[in-house]
Chains A and B, each alone.
Chain A
């Protein structure tokens, strides 16, 4: 044993030293946020699959990553129907190439319809369902969702990628022996006035509000800032986070749609999501921070109902929504 310990101490001398003040602390702000977002993410996935979900505004990238305690909009984003895009172009929509046991798939022309490519995947014995959805600028030609049961790899854009929220993945590498069905969704340029189905961080370079961070503004200021840019708020959502029965944050929240004329100008903007080239969804609330409510409060019941959960027992239904996705 002494010899073993000696060897271990020699190997230990090679250990890289990590100096990061907060990095190792699970109670640090970013780590704490990640913990609650992981739990919340699965709730959103569950919600997105709920047929009672009232509105099909589906956002590819969880928008909360950029700011503490804000709303996450659905991570699973598309309905099974094909997107109504412009007709197929002459040029190859996809670049599909075989490379050492892998099939690399990237998008050349993010405007055309890739339906005709299904048979190409079949030739490789792969079951790939690929679709395109209208997306905000930084997600055009980028992967906005992939579901393959694990085992596929992401191809990133060469060089530096400025996008904050995942908008760097330009393709996937699928092992040729991949056993499971692969579902890929790429972002494409929207048609005139078409709503996004997937949206990057609205203040990222190249995005529709790259020059204006509305979060933290009063609603009236945000409306003015949008009007100056020929834009508008298409939707408003009022987000609340729920406390468990013992009063601790549950990591679970919900948002409900609020009509624009019901949102006072002196409310605050908590988060902004692009909904089309000239419109945004504003997450708003009466205070500067997202409201934290007990899960049995009337507001929580309302929000649970608005999110499609039975309103009879908000705590119970929210617990159900926050459970892991079955089978994953």
Chain B
């Protein structure tokens, strides 16, 4: 009597995980590094993210949603970390050493104009800041942000729209406006290549 093939053969899981890791590793690490004070901490968190992805490889949605799904895992790992869960992932020891040499520079510490923008930005709620940075730093569209946040696409679109509106109003309220805050030279394809993401 023929036996049913398993839903996901082990070798498929390994292949799938490796492909996902190779596709998302750089972006996830960039996401974490941009949101952490200590680059070394990103090593532990990136290891946590991909351990989770591997343990849940059967739950990963099909290709177009897989990458934002991994960002969703990263978001939860980061949230746990911020709640005080500083943990050393033993797997990350070597990566931690490598990341010890990483430098994260914050434009709003170096440039007065950007510092002013940053001050206004930080008056927004955490939720607004999150959705704006997912769009602007990670170049995610509302559909992808919905996967990251685990909400409906329409909800993500509305949240992003409102957050942009609140930021624009807050800038005006601080005597700034969007046009005057634009980067001096628009980087080519800025939406496709978030700063700091090397791949």
Contacts and interface: CB of A to CB of B under 8 A. Distances in A.
A197 to B, nearest CB: 16
Nearest to B81: A153
Interface of chain B, helix or strand or loop or mixed?
A: helix
User: Which of A6, A8, A9, A23 counts the most chain B CB atoms within 10 A?
Assistant: A23
B186 A9 contact: yes
B14 interface: yes
Interface string A1-43: 0011111111111111111111111111111011101110110
Interface string B102-114: 1111111000001
A324 B104 contact: no
Interface of A is mostly: mixed
B47 interface: yes
Interface string B88-132: 111111110111011111111000001001100100000000001
Interface stretch (A61-69, A182-190, A284-292): A61-69
Contact of A6 (B18, B117, B178): B178
A31 to B, nearest CB: 6
Contacts of B66: none
Contacts of B182: 6, 9-10
Contacts of A13: 107, 114, 117, 181, 183
Contacts, number: 224
B58 interface: yes
B50 interface: yes
Contacts of A293: none
Given A3-B168, A24-B199, A62-B90, A11 B132 contact: yes
A56 to B, nearest CB: 20
Given A156-B86, A319-B9, 18 more contacts: A7-B164, A8-B132, A10-B183, A12-B183, A12-B195, A14-B117, A17-B196, A18-B102, A18-B103, A18-B198, A24-B26, A24-B30, A30-B98, A35-B18, A38-B47, A62-B90, A65-B93, A167-B88
Interface of A: 3-31, 33-35, 37-39, 41-42, 61-62, 65-66, 68, 153-156, 161, 163-169, 173, 201, 244, 250-251, 319-320, 322-325, 328
